[in-house]
Chain A
Amino acid sequence: MRISFVRRDHASRPAMLLAPVVAFACAIVASVILFTALGKAPGQALYSLLLEPFLTWYNFSEVLLKMAPLLLIAQGLAIGFRANVFNIGAEGQLIIGAIAASALPVWYPQGDSALMLPAMLVMGAGAGMAWAAIAAMFRTRFNANEILVTLMLSLIAAQVLNYLLLGPWKDPHGFNFPQSVMFPDAALLPILLPGTRVNISLLFALVASVLAYVLMRHRFAGFQLLVGGLAPRAARYAGFSEARAIWLSLLLGGLAAGLAGAAEVAGPLGQLQRSVSLGYGYSAIIVAYLGGLNPLGIVVSAFVMSVIYIGGDNAMVSADLPVAAVWVFQGLLLCFYLAGLTFIRHRVSFSRKALP
């Protein structure tokens, strides 16, 4: 007997909704097997990973805190991914955004101007955009693959951050730790939910989600972007430009990531640190895909991924799992989801003979 995929006439809605759920279940099963093989207690790990984030208000608020950068970046990236522009360097754009935003409080640690915070956010978003613009320029002007260029720019950004924190921007009273001075109050984002660390960057992310939805659904620009990426030739005949799709995708992605970076240093961190990004830029890629590159789906997947982040922190303590376990889980999740996506446009067929 031969098992093969046959194209469906119409995309299957049930498969579309089921794919992420089934992928999530499969990723859990696979990680349980893996963690058991490594001699960890899988029950404890799962409890920490999936339940503990919901058990106390503090834990749940931390999920919302993590959700802000993931959601913001993923919405920015999904615009590009839908147009087949693969910006995988959000990590670097976030780091550069965080650096640019930190410049003001590092230079004016006593600053108390009300303009400080808005200026930081603008600088962060602008710097993230500029960093992504390098890739857009190399792609449109020199035809250089944006996947590789954005990734290289991320590696460079990480080194620039190291340089600043080990050298000129290191806190002179910081016991030689690679981190900047603590920011003044004027450089910190207002808290959104009293008693927690959740700040208004969550609102930025939600607004970005609405804007992304409007762009995708109701704007001609969104349509042009889609066609420009998916069918460059058709787009050219219709007078849409591929270069514009590339520029727009990368600039919006960079803007979102840069703003997220600024919000991290002006939010929960309160200073520039080496660990300013815990791989948000890479996780956001997974968030974007798991959300089906759909602005509404991404809100859900960003929430799920934040649960895993916070749960992973808990599991580190309670089940003695390293941070890497979260990456393994995320990688598995995306693998299963991509496999599951096939069932949206294909159905399985069992046939006796090989097809001619």
Chain B
Amino acid sequence: MNAVDFILAGMLAAATPMLLAALGEMVVERSGVLNLGLEGMMALGAALGFITTYSTGSHALGFVVAALGGAALSLLFALIVLGFVANQVAAGLAIGILGTGLSSLFGKNFESLTIDGLPKLALPGLSDLPVVGVLFVQDAVVWATAVLALAIWAVMTHSKLGLIIRAVGENPHAARAIGFGVLRVRCGAIAFGGALAGIAGAYASTVYTPLWADGMIAGRGWIALALVVFGTWMTGRVVFGAVLFGALSLGELTTQAAGVNIPSQLLACVPYVVTILMLAVISSNRRRMRLNTIASLGQPFER
């Protein structure tokens, strides 16, 4: 398998953890809340998902528990920032630290254990195409994520629910004046984002690299946060960014496999460096950022 095939075949799976987390966070931020705890919620989901799948043998159950764990942690965040009107940046950091700590606490007895991943499913017809055919042989979660991305796009742009979420994010006081429960909508969005972050973590630990290692999320939650900015809060662009990053992280492996003499630690920096550069390129257009940024993002809502 040459490098191009390898990247094409693997980039969607590599993108999936970041994409799931980023899609959830995008909805949360659209409702006007910034949850910086993504990394912690992913780590918790990864630990819970792995432990459940390892103990029961069921991937589905692993994802359910991970989603519940992520949602539970995000509801704690919701309680602090919505119920107690706290600073969202600080609360997000607290949740991040708490989630990361809980993941190593729970995962301690499972260190370096492995499980089986999920089988790849080929999309009949498309998977026989030359060159790009490998793109259409993916595991069930990748397919489900693709469907979910479409669904989120449809809901956010073409449904009343999407309109309400965006209204709450752009002008919570106006949204309240016409009768929408701002806190209720935000709470729902936060729980949704938390559940997706949990699933994202579980995908990383039970399917993509089916093993538990402390610290295995390795900044992917933060990259997902950057992807939301990169995608200027639009589903299609977030998907594009995530796939780009998936390809990039595989490029790192192929460079190593090709025997290029660059220390692996420095190659591991590439996604982080690219994240910074990408943020700079997108954000430097201040006018476009101001047009796209959610107006009430990060501001507490008080009547």
Distance in angstroms between the alpha carbons of A324 and B103 in the assembled complex: 8
**Contact between chains at B265 and A144 (CB < 8 Å):** no
Q: In the docked arrangement, what's the CA distance between A267 and B100, Å? A: 29
CB distance from A12 to the nearest CB of B (A): 15
Q: How far is the CA of A88 from the CA of B219 in the complex (A)?
A: 13
In contact, A332 and B303 (Cβ under 8 angstroms): no
The answer, among B80, B229, B275, for a CB contact under 8 Å with A338, is B80
Does A148 contact B275, Cβ atoms closer than 8 Å?
yes
B276 adjacent to A331 (CB under 8 Å):
no
A325 and B101: CB pair below 8 A? yes
A160 at the interface (CB under 8 A from B): yes
> How far does the alpha carbon of A149 sit from the alpha carbon of B274 in the complex, in Å?
11
Residues of B within 8 A of A286 (CB): 93-94, 97
Contacting pair A335 B265 (CB below 8 A): no
Cα–Cα distance between A286 and B93 once the two chains are bound (Å): 9
A-B pair count, CB < 8 Å, reads: 149
State in angstroms the CA–CA spacing of A269 and B36 once bound together. Answer: 33
Q: Is the interface of A mostly helix, strand, loop or mixed?
A: helix
Q: Does B10 contact A (CB under 8 A)?
A: no
Residue of A155, A163, A329, A332 contacting most chain B CB atoms (<10 Å): A155
- Separation of A272 and B276 alpha carbons in the complex (Å): 27
* Chain A interface residue number, banded: 35 or more
Known interface pairs A327-B97, A331-B99. Does A143 touch B283 (Cβ–Cβ under 8 Å)? yes
Partner of A143, one of B101, B214, B222, B286: B286
Give A147-160 as 1s and 0s: 1 = Cβ < 8 Å from B's Cβ atoms: 11101110110011
Number of interface residues of B (CB under 8 A): 52
Q: Is B268 an interface residue (CB 8 A)?
A: yes
| A145-B86 contact given A286-B94, A327-B104, CB 8 Å threshold | no
Q: Are A152 and B284 in contact (CB under 8 A)?
A: no
A-B contact pairs, 29 of them (CB 8 A): A138-B276, A143-B284, A143-B286, A151-B222, A152-B219, A152-B272, A152-B273, A155-B218, A155-B219, A160-B265, A160-B266, A163-B263, A166-B265, A282-B97, A322-B104, A322-B108, A324-B102, A324-B104, A325-B101, A328-B102, A331-B94, A331-B95, A335-B91, A335-B94, A335-B98, A338-B84, A339-B83, A339-B86, A341-B84
5 tightest A-B contacts by CB? A331-B98, A327-B101, A324-B104, A334-B94, A142-B280
Give A contacts to B, CB under 8 Å.
Answer: 5, 7, 38, 86, 88, 138, 141-145, 147-149, 151-153, 155-156, 159-160, 162-163, 166-167, 282, 285-286, 289, 322-332, 334-335, 338-339, 341-342, 346, 355
> 19 other contacts beyond A286-B97, A324-B104, A335-B98, with CB at 8 A cut-off?
A138-B279, A142-B279, A143-B286, A143-B289, A152-B219, A152-B272, A156-B273, A159-B269, A167-B263, A285-B90, A322-B108, A324-B101, A325-B101, A327-B101, A328-B105, A331-B98, A331-B102, A335-B76, A341-B84
